[in-house]
Structure 1
Amino acid sequence: MGFVDLHSSDDVRPHPSTTVLLRIHYVTNTAFGNAGGFDPDKPTVCILHPTFLDSSWLHAHFGDHRLDGEFNLIAFDMRVAGKSECRHSGKHDSWVDAADLAFAHQALALPPFHILALEGPSINCALRFAALFPEKCLSLALCNVPAPTEQKWIYTAYDELIQTWCFAEDLESYEHVTMEAVALTVGPNTHPDIRDDLISYWETTMHPRRRQRLLEQANILMNRTPLPSEAYQHITQPVLIIHGDSNEAAPRKYAERLAQDLKGVLYTVKGGGPYLSITPGTASIVNQVYVKFVTRLPPPVPPSSTPAPMPTTEERMRRALSRLEEITGNSALRSRDPLSSLSFSCLSEDIVKQQTEGLAAYSRGQTLAYLPLGPTGRPIRRYSERPQDDWFERKTDGVSYAGGRLFGEPAGRNKPYDTAEDSRVGRRGNFSPSVDKNLIKGSMAKVVSQPTVHKLFL
């Protein structure tokens, strides 16, 4: 276990007495948990963790001898996940995540590595990293490719779920909303042990007193913009796409489309749903397919006997900003600070403003919010140990007495809902620009008056 401290002019830890920095946490499969123990004769694989989780949820990969025995493994917590620390920012998007990864790669002097990206934000980060820093990335493996923009019913579901999650006032309501989160993200038939572990993890790391952290993660997921088509020509690495065929939140057609655009290989996991990496059966399939993919790749070209001098971090990041300008057509990028990850943000000013206001609103009263932990800092109970007489208790078929659907779920589970096309209508720039705790009783639509509609993805 280690940390990479990244200094810049606009990223600070949430403690005024400390030096200016962004702290990225990482883990490895070496004896002492740091990158200095890597075997130079083994390829290096960087694993990017799933949405709303962190590197501690990658045991199915780090504990598999097929990966652990053949590769140097490293995984980073994204800036608002796990043990990483940063100042919350409305500028945060997947381009910023890609810059964070590049800074960490440079700081640790890592060799070019293969990337295994798990679920939406990690995939969006990996694609952008490969486009901006091609010499650092040997290949891409992407598990469960998301739609370019979110499906309308999922956006509505997260809209209500994040609001209820962040402003829960007692253990029962918090457990209920996190159970709904399990059903929405992993699936209603999740194994009870995995469900309990997920809820315990969220109770410990993403409770209402850390609601800004949850909101910023949700913003990255829900306010994402499609990767510009100009970026595809810069992604020349071999690409493997692994996709669960029972994943309603990420329809297969988007995996097929990306495989075609990147000239990659698509492998379908029969019966696989969301979060392939935390279900033991599907995680083992992912590992098997991934190892076969990487081991069949040609070895990297060895460096010449007189290698060119390595550019400084500032020089390399300035080149990346120039490439990003070429991809996006945004000439303002050239004047930004190359030593700050936030300089790589491609969000519009309106969205940055709305996300900044939302984070400020969620910070009000945060230190006094409900804390679902006992005096020892651990969850009060496991979800499966709660009393079973709750009136909204979810049954084995996923239906509760309180209602027959999940937050925002379409009325017919088999109804075909489209994605980017449907989700353009009625989308807001972020979740809630203004919050009054005393009024939080349901959907955020009830507490946000006349939200501005932004057609972001036309």
Structure 2
Amino acid sequence: MPFVDLHSADDFASIHYITNSFFGNVGGFDPEKPTVCILHPTFLDSSWLYAQFNDPRLDGEFNLIAFDMRVSGKSEARYSGKHDSWVDAADLAFCHQALRLSPFHILAMESVAISCALRFATLFPEMCLSLALCNVPAPTECVISIRPFILHLFVTARRALLTRLHCRLKWIYTAYDELVQTWCFAEDLESYEHVAMEAVTFTFGSDTPLDLRDDLIAYWETTMNPRRRQRVLEQANLVMNRTPLPTEAYPHITQPILIIHGDANEACPRKYAERMAHELKAVLYTVKGGGGYLSIPPGTASIVNQVYAKFVSRLPHTRSDPAVPSISTEERMREALALLESLTSTPGLHARDPRSSLSFCCLPDDIIQSQSEGLTAYRKGQTLAYLPLGPTGKPIRRYSERPRDDWFETQTERISYAGGRFFSEPAAQRKDRHLPLPQSEPMSPADNRLRRGTFTPSSVEKLVIKGSMAKVVTGSQPTLHKLFL
């Protein structure tokens, strides 16, 4: 399998990648075709990009390459609290130079990939030809472009806006926190499947197809189970502790940009995509009815592929000849560190080790310490944690094939009520019974009050009948029949 090994004094990562070439490596690229680098969605890996790699509109027109980020898929790395999106951008730059790739187009899927793509285009513009961003996430805080000489006029208003924005986004972080905690410390299969189903609903929506839901849960059981809880936590940290792109970085992003956004995505409201399109002078395309992870469901994935193929076809044609660097990798990364220091106003960045991706970390010291302590805590008992896999290393069952022994079921209206499948007798025989069981009725969502019982103390008669069992049954049937009817 093709890997790119990145090693330094304080870091090690083995980055796995796939291509659409015949031999699965960059040596089989057609030099006449442009190259497209696809960044996989959050909490998934490059194997979930089959809708793009199997589409003739992309596979036939471009050289495709996709990297697994350092804690995703088949990539392996030393866990670190310094991992942020600037580190992911540095990993991508190291891989670009190690494989001698020509400048490529970037197609980024979801929040973590978009953060990496924007930072890569900022620090390494000569390696990036264009950007396509699917489902732009909301920033953790509002970044407003204001000239320095009028900044003091908007300090109060900006603080109020940040407070309102933080309140609106708090539910997202609360959901992530609860999901990760339950996910990593599940003690049985039912608990793990429950939290995995909640994750599917949170990321893809409540209308996820059954087959896709089963595949997602099976993938997470295999690659992100409680025995790999450190990997789960580090990926969640990228989302929960991300920082917005500095406003000073916008002038450095001069590539053509396409933003594709689903108008039914609750976690990523459309207004943030419109704001980024305005800031970066990008083209915004809205997918009607599109929710989360546009690149995976067949319907929205086909739309994304079509729109992206047309976008790239309008750009100047480029070849994919192997690049010959004019300067060494160490010198180029040192220049990127100096630029990053000027953008973030973080002193001492230029003096860090340019051979390490962790040198590009821009997280505050308290966040780094918090993430490091969390990784250390999650490591305790990790090897003895619950493993939702069978002896063969495969999931024990598909989620849709689990035994349904609960009484209440959730139907399309998101309301739980008792179904009739728990009775052993056929429906035709139950109709002939003298004592029909009462059938519950689902409430409509429009009903905003609870139903109240109508039984009174006089509704039930107290009967004491002496005699044989047949006499008791025969004598009590009319009364019971009247009671239930």
TM-score, normalized by length of structure 2?
A: 0.78
Q: Compare the two structures and name the one with the higher helix fraction.
A: 2
Query: Which of the residues 246, 265, 269 maps onto 1:251?
Result: 269
CA gap 1:344/1:397 in 2 versus in 1, 3 angstroms:
farther
**Equivalent residue, structure 1, for 2:393:** 377
Deviation at 1:242, TM superposition (A): 0.1
- Distance (whole Å) between structure 2 residues aligned to residue 35 and residue 70 of structure 1: 16
**Equivalent residue, structure 1, for 2:375:** 359
Show the 5 A alignment for 1:92-131: 92-131=83-122
Deviation at 1:302, TM superposition (A): 11
- Distance (whole Å) between structure 1 residues aligned to residue 128 and residue 247 of structure 2: 19
**Equivalent residue, structure 2, for 1:170:** 188
**Equivalent residue, structure 2, for 1:140:** 131
Show the 5 A alignment for 1:145-164: 145-149=136-140, 151-164=169-182
Deviation at 1:64, TM superposition (A): 0.1
CA contact (8 A) 1:189 1:396 kept: no
The alignment-based identity, stated in percent, is 75
Query: Which of the residues 80, 84, 89 maps onto 2:75?
Result: 84
CA contact (8 A) 1:165 1:178 kept: yes
- Distance (whole Å) between structure 2 residues aligned to residue 283 and residue 400 of structure 1: 32
Deviation at 1:301, TM superposition (A): 9.7
Deviation at 1:397, TM superposition (A): 3.9
Query: Which of the residues 44, 59, 66 maps onto 2:50?
Result: 59
Name the SS of the counterpart of 2:9 in structure 1.
Answer: coil
- Distance (whole Å) between structure 2 residues aligned to residue 376 and residue 213 of structure 1: 22
Query: Which of the residues 332, 342, 348 maps onto 1:316?
Result: 332
**Number of equivalent positions:** 390
**Equivalent residue, structure 2, for 1:23:** 14
Q: Deviations over 1:296-316 (max 9, x none)?
A: 01235999xxx9961101001
CA contact (8 A) 2:35 2:320 kept: no
**Equivalent residue, structure 1, for 2:230:** 212
CA gap 1:302/1:48 in 2 versus in 1, 3 angstroms:
closer
**Equivalent residue, structure 1, for 2:440:** none
- Distance (whole Å) between structure 2 residues aligned to residue 8 and residue 393 of structure 1: 54
**Equivalent residue, structure 1, for 2:240:** 222
Does residue 35 (structure 1) correspond to residue 51 (structure 2)? The answer is: no
Deviation at 1:330, TM superposition (A): 1.0
Name the SS of the counterpart of 2:38 in structure 1.
Answer: strand
- Distance (whole Å) between structure 2 residues aligned to residue 308 and residue 234 of structure 1: 23
- Counterpart of 2:46, as a letter, is S
- Distance (whole Å) between structure 2 residues aligned to residue 393 and residue 364 of structure 1: 37
Name the SS of the counterpart of 1:331 in structure 2.
Answer: coil
Q: Tell which structure's C-alpha radius of gyration is larger.
A: 2
Q: Deviations over 1:25-73 (max 9, x none)?
A: 0000011111111111100000000010000000000000000000000
**Equivalent residue, structure 2, for 1:429:** none
CA gap 1:193/1:117 in 2 versus in 1, 3 angstroms:
same
- Counterpart of 1:53, as a letter, is L
- Counterpart of 1:136, as a letter, is M
Name the SS of the counterpart of 2:348 in structure 1.
Answer: helix
CA gap 1:389/1:334 in 2 versus in 1, 3 angstroms:
same
Please list every run of 5 or more consecutive structure 1 residues that lacks an aligned counterpart in the other structure: 12-20, 402-411, 413-458
- Counterpart of 1:243, as a letter, is H
- Distance (whole Å) between structure 1 residues aligned to residue 229 and residue 271 of structure 2: 34
Name the SS of the counterpart of 1:26 in structure 2.
Answer: strand
TM-score, normalized by length of structure 1?
A: 0.83
Deviation at 1:394, TM superposition (A): 4.6
CA gap 1:373/1:300 in 2 versus in 1, 3 angstroms:
same
Name the SS of the counterpart of 1:225 in structure 2.
Answer: coil
Show the 5 A alignment for 1:433-452: none
CA contact (8 A) 2:227 2:387 kept: yes
- Distance (whole Å) between structure 1 residues aligned to residue 325 and residue 237 of structure 2: 39
Please list every run of 5 or more consecutive structure 2 residues that lacks an aligned counterpart in the other structure: 141-165, 418-444, 446-485
- Distance (whole Å) between structure 2 residues aligned to residue 171 and residue 315 of structure 1: 51
CA contact (8 A) 2:135 2:259 kept: yes
